[in-house]
Amino acid sequence: MTATVLDLAGVTTRHEFMDRCARSLSLPEYFGRNWDALADCLTDLSWCPPTPRRLRVTGWQEYAAASPREWRIVTQILRDAADFWQHTDTPLHVSVEEATNAE
């Protein structure tokens, strides 16, 4: 089963984060690039095909270190979105992946 990957490698600011979300998640044109708009897009997935919805967040450590308050907001939005869809026919599964030392 495939997942959409939100790779945050190199992201350190909210602006970069919102741009990465818009591009990686193929968010709709009306996405307002703010926290409320992100939460709205993730709880109204009418713009997203109802196939298994899996989101893998990778490369987030640099952003979390540079903007810890904003990273807490992101994790809460992701948690709330997953909870919102949990008991539906098309749940949203979110995984925030730890870094690996595969280098």
Which residue type does 77 have? I
pTM for the model stands at 0.87
Q: Are strands 53-58 and 4-7 parallel, antiparallel or unpaired?
A: parallel
pLDDT in tens, 28-39: 999 999 999 999
Residue 1 has pLDDT above 50, yes or no: no
Closest CA to 42 of 71, 96, 85: 85
- % of residues, the chain, pLDDT over 70: 90
